[in-house]
């Protein structure tokens, strides 16, 4: 059986990933695919428990290295439990965040650097790379404001506190932003950069074009 296709979406919270994942999933479903959707951190029972620790504002004292280790613990579990079995079964997997997020947030934002992140990826994720990464980078100020407003609204509606990262200063997010751009420049064959304050429909169109091209090229290559 041919291996499935692994697609990830990246960007700051507030970049529109959640909306675009839903629209991409609907597009894939209309074309006969049954995509497997998951988010990181989370997506498994163990991952959801890790997510609570990582995103809860009460975890302010979490050391950056511990934070990164928890991210990779969550990711390794998701690969073993969800991602790799789905790919082996020929499924399309769409994941909200993957190692690029760790490189951007912990490597860039926390100033741990890319080298340690990429080495842990090789060791703990066995080097599994997405076939396609869609990096959404709307305007920095707009994206940051959306993220903070969204998480505050979610807490009011659900009672879950996932605001720990949103309390960081703008300088932290600027480093994350710059690291994302660095990743896109380093890996242009894998990462499709969709930037600017585009409409939801405009972003969706670019995503569908990129996904269509990548699925076709993978099918021809295999």
pLDDT at 1: 60
Got the DSSP string for 155-209?
HHHH-----TGGGS-HHHHHHHHHHHHHHHHH-TTTEEEEESS--HHHHHHHHHH
Tell me which of 154 and 61 has the higher pLDDT. Answer: 61
- For the cut 80, the answer to whether the pLDDT of residue 106 exceeds it is yes
As a whole-number percent, the residues of the chain with pLDDT over 70 amount to 86
Question: What is the C-alpha to C-alpha distance for residues 107 and 7, in angstroms, rounded to an integer?
Answer: 22
Determine how many CB atoms are found less than 10 A away from the CB of residue 155. 15
pLDDT at 14: 82
Tell me which of 211 and 53 has the higher pLDDT. Answer: 211
Query: What Cα–Cα distance (Å) separates residue 148 from each residue in 122, 129, 136, 176?
Result: 33, 30, 17, 15
Question: What is the C-alpha to C-alpha distance for residues 189 and 115, in angstroms, rounded to an integer?
Answer: 20
pLDDT at 166: 58
**How does the average pLDDT of the chain come out, rounded?**
88
Q: What is the pLDDT of residues 150-173, one digit of tens each?
A: 655 555 555 555 555 655 678 888
Q: Are 111 and 168 in contact (CB under 8 A)?
A: no
Tell me which of 167 and 49 has the higher pLDDT. Answer: 49
Confidence tier at 61 by pLDDT (50, 70, 90): confident
pLDDT at 22: 97
- For the cut 70, the answer to whether the pLDDT of residue 212 exceeds it is yes
Token duo for residue 53 = 């620790």
* Global pTM value: 0.89
pLDDT at 156: 52
- pLDDT (mean) for 40-53: 93
- pLDDT (mean) for 174-203: 94
> Across-strand partners of 95?
8, 38
> 5-221: which CATH number, 3.40.50.880, 3.40.50.80, 3.30.565.10, 3.40.50.300?
3.40.50.300
- For the cut 60, the answer to whether the pLDDT of residue 38 exceeds it is yes
- For the cut 80, the answer to whether the pLDDT of residue 6 exceeds it is yes
pLDDT at 13: 84
């Amino acid at each position: 059986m041919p291996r499935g296709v692994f697609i990830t979406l990246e960007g700051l919270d507030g970049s529109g990933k959640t909306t675009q994942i839903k629209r991409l999933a609907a597009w894939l479903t209309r074309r006969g695919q049954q995509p497997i959707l998951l988010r990181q951190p989370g997506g498994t029972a163990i991952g959801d428990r890790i997510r609570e620790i990582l995103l809860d504002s009460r975890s302010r004292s979490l050391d950056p290295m511990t934070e990164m280790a928890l991210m990779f613990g969550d990711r390794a579990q998701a690969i073993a439990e969800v991602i790799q079995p789905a790919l082996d079964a020929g499924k399309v997997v769409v994941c909200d965040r993957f190692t690029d997020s760790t490189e951007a947030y912990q490597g860039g934002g926390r100033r741990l650097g890319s080298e340690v992140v990429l080495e842990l990826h090789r060791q703990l994720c066995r080097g599994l790379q997405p076939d396609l990464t869609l990096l959404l980078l709307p305007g920095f100020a707009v994206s940051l404001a959306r993220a903070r407003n969204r998480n505050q609204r979610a807490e009011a509606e659900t009672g879950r506190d996932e605001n720990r990262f949103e309390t960081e200063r703008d300088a932290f997010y600027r480093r994350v932003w710059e690291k994302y751009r660095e990743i896109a420049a380093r890996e242009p064959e894998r990462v499709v950069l969709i930037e600017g304050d585009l409409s939801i429909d405009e972003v969706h169109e670019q995503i569908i074009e990129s996904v269509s091209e990548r699925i076709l090229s993978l099918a021809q290559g295999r």
